[in-house]
Structure formats: structure tokens, C-alpha cells
Amino acid sequence: MEIQVLEARSSKGYRKKVCAYCRVSTDALEQENSLENQIAYYENLIQSNPEYEYAGVYYDFAISGYKEKRPGLQKMLTDARNGKIDLIYTKSVSRFARNTAIVLKASRELKELNVGIFFELQNINTLSSQGELMLTILAAFAQAESESGSIGAKMVYQRKYEQGIPVQYLERCFGYTKNEKGEFVPDTEQAKWIVKIYEMVAEGYSLSAIADEMNAAGVKTDKGAGWVESTVKRILENEIYKGDYIMHKNYVNEERKLVRNRGEVDAWYIEDDHPPIVSRQLWDKAQEARKKKRDYLDMDCQIREVTEENYPYKGRLFCAKCGSPLTHRIYSNGNRMSWDCSGRRRHGKDFCTGIHVPDTAVRQWKFDGNIYISIKDSRKSIKEFSYTKESSWSRRHKKKEFVREVPEFTEENYPYYRSIFCAECGSRLVRHIKKHGDIVWECNGRKRKGATYCEGVRIPDRVVQAFMPIRKAIYIKERKGRNGTKHYSYSCKKPERATRKEQG
């Protein structure tokens, strides 16, 4: 029996049909990009590869200022649909088209036909897995361009892209340096501190305790500043330290600033993007410790109107350090409440280092009468408190008296005293010394002629000082905001009432 051997239609022996696409500048000065040069270059490049079959060079003329018509590109797409092309060579994304959306549309359509585009500068084939990532990035460019009309973002990204720098690595952060490719590489010295931060949090230390530790060790942030709670918090929330990366966590806005992405552009989470500094176990442990603290603070923390009915201990809590009453404070966007030393709040930390008791803690205590609260000296996140009755506290302590030294009434101490006036009646503001030596400036009109003459203004000296330096006379107005807060504003315009008086 004769066996006919059929040659397998394997990829072996099959040569890919490869073409090139270029945009040719009509600018005569750009000799190296002339059409002849480019055709010669691609012809040579493709024909020198034995696996390739030369399928020609397609091109369009790039005429600046005109809406681009692209007969070359259209022809190439038609030929690709007809199976005449397997792979397209092109210089780079920006040389393919000025508008990223065009590149993206063409790449996607070709990809469906299983035709790849090879971008030489980026060294990426759209059919490869890297190419998939690149198309994603291109989609983001296109979206950013169309949504914000942002030429700035496009320019910054594309310039980076042209230089072969992955765009996701525009950002910098403490703990990492970058290699010549722009990839994150752990910085040995800083990485030690990152690990330490995560370990301390996992052990229950508070963010402020960690910030203190960093400052005491003389470590500076990547911006060369000292550490505060929020810098530590940002480090703990950054997945970069476990080796992951969120592309487009930040993006470049119209003002060419790198800003936080709040849904303006798509973001992608990339796992194992670069070498981690903290293990996934440690990262999780730290997050658990933080969650534990949040849960503790969230416990029964529905905030009601602050009345004695809702908070029977209101007015009965005191600071054991200075004896001042604790007053409530609502924070974390209205989600949490605490009782804080009013002495520190009013007179500063020289007077009392303060005390801050979460309302959730007070709720669990059983007591009647006034109590004096102290805090166990600990740097852990979840604090321990103890409290004593007023009688036993008073036996051992005395309430601290705050007396501020009042600066003498001289022009040197109050250089503005002649230029501040009431915006309502135009009267001069005069100095008044309150209990404890706090200084306020009050409308002299009201003071002398009563509330029917002028409702008056009372402004703390520190606010006046914040308005300075001012060279002209200013007229100050006081407004009551919600929650009894006061706002002050000033203008250089004399009130009408005062002007009329002068004329009359």
C-alpha cells in the first residue's frame, strides 16, 4: 500500500506576512524621517528576517493643523481583513497616530483579526501579554484625553512612553528607589523602617507613637519632612509595600499635576508588580490590628444630639492632669465622638498635655458623680483609662489655674490697635482682658452706648493677629456659624452708617 504523506500545515515553513506603517512628516527638515528612508529601513528590516515575508510599507502624510485623513491606514486595515498581513511594524505609539484613540481602535480591530502591531520603541507586540497591558494603558490615555480634553496628561504620558519609561512609575514613595527602567526596587535602609512601621502597627502601637519613633530616630520622609500620623497612615494603606501596584491610583490632570484618581480614569490592580518590602502575612496582620481599633471605636458609637439625656455623663468628666472639664468633640467626618481636655484645647499643650477619651469607652463605665480620668501611659492604639471620684482626686491634686501674661498696652505689642474698627457702626475696637488673661477686642460703640446702638463685635486677639499685616484701617464683622462657631471677616470699606454720621 502506498501511503501518501501530506505535508503538515504547521507553522514551520510558513512565513509571516509583515508590513510596516509610518506617518511621514512633510517637514523638509526632517530628513531622517523622509519617506524614502523609512521604506528602505523597513524593507531591509523585514526582509532580513527569514521568518518574515515582506508585505510592504503603508504610510500617511502627517500634515499638522489639518484633520488627518488616513488613506494609508484604511488600505492597511482592508488588507489585514483580507488576510494579507500578520504583523505590522511601527515606530511608536505617538508616531502611529497623534490621537491615542485612533491607535487603540486600530490595535483592537487588528487584534481581533489576530494581526499584531509591533511598536519598536516600546518593544511591545499587541498580541503578547505585555501588549494586553499596553492596550489597557492606551485605553486610559484615550479616556483621559476624551474626558478632560487633557493635552497635558497625554503629553506627559506619551513623553514617558517615548522614552521607554513605564507610565505607572511616575510616582515615588518612601522605601523604594527606581532602577534605570523606572521599576521599584527596595531601598535597603528605608525598607527597614517600612518593616518596622508594619510590625509596630501589628503589635498594636498607635500611629502617633510610630511617628514619634521615626522622628526620634531622625528618619525623614521622602519629601524630607518629619513624620506625622497621616504619613504613617499613608504608608500602611499603600499596597505597594506588599509588591502590588494600582495603576492610575494617581493621574495627571489638566493642570499637569499628579492628583489622586477618584474615578476620573480607570484604575487597575496589578499583583506582584515588583519586589515586596513586607510579606503578605505582615501586611494582613497590620491591617487586622487597624481594623480591631476601628471596630472598637465603632462600637455603639451612634452620635446623638449632645444633651444630658443622651449623654448622662455630660459635664461630669474631668481631666485628672489639670482638673479641667472634658468637652465633647466630633471628628472623623461626624462618625466618632470623644471627650477631650478643655484646658489643653483653650490654653495649649504647655498648660496640659491633654486627654482624649473615646465616647465608646465612657459608655461602658458605671459611676455616679464627677470623675477624674487619667490615661495609662501607653503607646498602644487602644488606650487604657482609669478614673477616680472627685473627692479622692481633690485630696491629692489641685485644679490648675491658667493665667496668661498679658502684654503691656504699647504700640509695639499691638501695632494694629489704631486700625481696627467695628464693621457695623464704625467705632474703634478696644482691648478687653478676660479671665485667664485672654485678650479680645470689642466695639467701643456698643461698650459706651449699649446694644441698641450697635450689636457689636468681639474678636480674640489671636484672630486679629492672623489678619495682619494690614496697612489700612479695617472694619471687622462677626458672624455666628452653625454649632455656635464664630466667623470673622474684614473689609477696608467704611460702613455707610459711619460715613453718614461724619457728614451729618
Which residues in this chain contact Zn ion in the complex, by CB under 5 A? Answer: 319, 321-322, 324, 341, 343, 352, 422, 424-425, 427, 443, 445, 454
Instruction: Compute the least distance from the CB of residue 433 to Zn ion, in Å.
Output: 20
Nearest to 352 by CA among 334, 378, 372: 372
Handedness of CA 386, 391, 395, 399 (dihedral sign): positive
Is residue 56 within 8 Å of residue 127, measured between CB atoms? no
Instruction: Compute the least distance from the CB of residue 356 to Zn ion, in Å.
Output: 10
**Closer by beta carbon to Zn ion, 84 or else 497:** 497
Distance of CA 134 to CAs 16, 97, 119, Å? 23, 15, 10
Instruction: Compute the least distance from the CB of residue 332 to Zn ion, in Å.
Output: 22
Query: Max alpha carbon distance in the chain (Å)?
Result: 132
**Closer by beta carbon to Zn ion, 164 or else 348:** 348
Beta-strand pair 326-331/439-443:
unpaired
**Closer by beta carbon to Zn ion, 25 or else 427:** 427
In the structure grid, which three cell numbers stand for residue 297, read together? 471605636
Instruction: Compute the least distance from the CB of residue 355 to Zn ion, in Å.
Output: 6
**Closer by beta carbon to Zn ion, 117 or else 443:** 443
**Closer by beta carbon to Zn ion, 93 or else 322:** 322
**Cα–Cα distance, 473 to 492 (Å, whole number):** 6
Instruction: Compute the least distance from the CB of residue 197 to Zn ion, in Å.
Output: 30
Instruction: Compute the least distance from the CB of residue 474 to Zn ion, in Å.
Output: 14
Instruction: Compute the least distance from the CB of residue 320 to Zn ion, in Å.
Output: 8
**Closer by beta carbon to Zn ion, 286 or else 454:** 454
The SS3 assignment for 429 reads strand
Nearest to 122 by CA among 138, 145, 142: 138
DSSP 237-252: T-GGGGT-EEETSEEE
Is residue 443 within 8 Å of residue 427, measured between CB atoms? yes
Give helix 207-216 / helix 188-202 axis angle, nearest 10°. 150
**Closer by beta carbon to Zn ion, 233 or else 356:** 356
Instruction: Compute the least distance from the CB of residue 407 to Zn ion, in Å.
Output: 24
Is residue 441 within 8 Å of residue 430, measured between CB atoms? yes
**Closer by beta carbon to Zn ion, 134 or else 422:** 422
Instruction: Compute the least distance from the CB of residue 400 to Zn ion, in Å.
Output: 8
Instruction: Compute the least distance from the CB of residue 269 to Zn ion, in Å.
Output: 46
328's enclosing H/E stretch is strand 326-331
**Closer by beta carbon to Zn ion, 210 or else 317:** 317
In the structure grid, which three cell numbers stand for residue 408, read together? 503691656
**Closer by beta carbon to Zn ion, 186 or else 445:** 445
Q: Which amino acid is at 389?
A: K
**Closer by beta carbon to Zn ion, 92 or else 444:** 444
Instruction: Compute the least distance from the CB of residue 306 to Zn ion, in Å.
Output: 20
**What DSSP designation does 213 have?**
H
Instruction: Compute the least distance from the CB of residue 338 to Zn ion, in Å.
Output: 14
CB-count exposure of residue 22 (10 Å: 0-12, 13-18, 19+): buried
Is residue 475 within 8 Å of residue 422, measured between CB atoms? yes
Could you give the angle at the alpha carbon of 299 between the alpha carbons of 295 and 300, nearest 5°? 160
**Cα–Cα distance, 160 to 158 (Å, whole number):** 5
Long-range contacts of 467-473 (CB under 8 A, 24+ apart): 467/416, 468/415, 468/416, 470/416, 470/419, 472/419, 473/419, 473/420, 473/421
**Closer by beta carbon to Zn ion, 413 or else 499:** 499
Ranges assigned E (strand) in 149-289: 176-178, 184-186, 245-247, 250-252, 258-260, 268-270
